[in-house]
Chains A and B, each alone.
Chain A
Amino acid sequence: MLAWNLIIQSFVLILIIVSVGQLITKMVEKKGD
């Protein structure tokens, strides 16, 4: 179903963006310490 596909894909993309952000922050903070 089109709507369902778009909702799932978008949710996964949101999770990826947030996780990448967290990962970068952790790496930068680790380097800073």
Chain B
Amino acid sequence: MTGVIIGVIAYLLIVIVGIGAYIATKAKKVEAEGGASFLLSNRDLPVSVLAVTMALTVLGAAHVLGGFEMTYMMGATTIWFSLAHVVLLTVACLATGRWVRRLGVTTIPQLMGMLHSEGSRLIVSCVMAGVIFGILTLETQGIGILFATLTGWSIQKGAVVGGVLGILYVILAGMKEIGWVNLINTVVMYIGLIIATIYISFHLPGEGWATVSEYYTSQGQGEMLKIFASPQLLLSFALANIIAVTFCQGISQMLMQPCMSAKNEDVVKKSLWIAAPVNGMFGVLVVCLGLAAKSIAEFNAAGAKLAGPTMLVEMLPGWLVAWVLASFIAAVLSTFAMTAMTPATIFSKDIYENLFNSEAEDKTITRVTRIAIVIIAVIAMCIAAYLPPIIGAINWLFAWLVPVFWLVVFGLFWKRSGKAAIATLIVSWVLNLLWSFSSLPAALNMQGVPNAYVTLATGLVLGAIIFSVMECEPGYFKSQEYLQQKQRLTL
């Protein structure tokens, strides 16, 4: 196993440091000419790099570890988790991502300030950075668990090694480094995962996949082989995921920052055709491997969390275990890099520059962002290494950003008001807290309702009512300011 670990770390270090150092050298020339390279890659990302960066940013520990676990419990319906991310990427590439690129903003809180008020910018920057930091701790813990299950290391050791690799993934050259490392990792990841699936297919006991199908049928679990299982599961799992993932991540800085870095709006739109299959098909391969693992008695006995990883370690040759481990870690590291980069960007732009140093040069902003990335990542490593598994917090975390999605839509197309925006946010967030930490759901006999449904209702319905009754300015796309901006661009 030592050989596997050395191989994986050597591959990741060569790709990350090699590409990072090369891009950092080139970026110095751009910065010398006055370009903002670190945060937004000088807004020059092409379709290929943007597409894989978007795909990998929302493909992390939940896809890898959660994918195996959910498949063990629900079967092929788990594919809806991946399809929810395809819906998210569709919304991001065709709507929100294009809007933020068109408006030339650097952060979502900055957009909130532009649309509603400086107060809304400040509270959204604090909450959004906190939510993304929460996801970062989950990713860090995910890397630790991956190392632990596939190599026998402790979770703490895995989280620290993963954290250091994750910092290197972003610290050398920022967004451009993340993008190009992602492009190479995607190719390596997919080839590895496809070879592993084919290898497992040829080494399954009995009649191969037919035996796997027979196992589920004989257990009375034939439904687990269908993507469209029971309507109840589709409503409680598929729809809940689509709502939480789309309306939270669809406006989150972690998915919007790559869009802001695109060459132009058209690049964002075209990226969908690559980003959607790259993200969506990963989970399908994990589900296939998970279904096979559960059908084999010795791996089934390992339980929901370990059946899939144990099968990979036991059935694949050493070199392929190393390849698959490197693929999984690369997938999680790409999310780690973006979730460390984006709260740091929010801090440097919306807090440091906006409140304390409005004259700051790009060089200073880059330095502040780099320092913030290291501090944020180190805190995440400490939390991830010493807290119990925290994956259960994800629904609660996602629910915080759902009202922000609707406030951006309202502000762009319908009405703008600082007071109405803050009122909507406060009511939504208080309700989200009450839904998790009080007996309110039980009192309303709605225990099974996910937090994202609650903040969707307050953000969309209550938000619409508040904006209707309060005095507001017209939406930004209807404003004179936007028309003038559009005319300038046309000229």
Contact = CB atoms under 8 A, between A and B. Distances in A.
Interface of A: 1-4, 6-7, 9-11, 13-14, 17-18, 21-22, 24-25
B94 A3 contact: no
Contact of A21 (B83, B90, B209, B291): B90
Nearest to A20: B90
Contacts of A4: 209
B394 interface: no
A7 B87 CA distance: 18
B227 A9 contact: yes
Given A3-B197, A25-B95, A17 B276 contact: yes
A30 to B, nearest CB: 14
B83 A10 contact: yes
Interface string B260-293: 0000000000001100110011001101100110
Given A3-B197, A18-B272, A10 B90 contact: no
Nearest to A29: B94
A9 to B, nearest CB: 6
Given A1-B209, A14-B281, A18-B90, A6 B79 contact: yes
Given A17-B276, A21-B94, A2 B227 contact: no
Given A6-B284, A13-B86, A24-B94, 9 more contacts: A3-B209, A3-B288, A9-B227, A11-B281, A14-B281, A17-B90, A18-B86, A18-B90, A21-B94
A17 to B, nearest CB: 5
Contact of B281 (A3, A10, A17): A10
Nearest to B477: A32
Given A9-B227, A25-B94, A25-B95, A17 B87 contact: yes
B272 A21 contact: yes
13 contacts: A1-B208, A2-B210, A3-B197, A3-B209, A3-B292, A6-B227, A7-B285, A10-B79, A10-B83, A13-B83, A14-B277, A24-B94, A25-B95
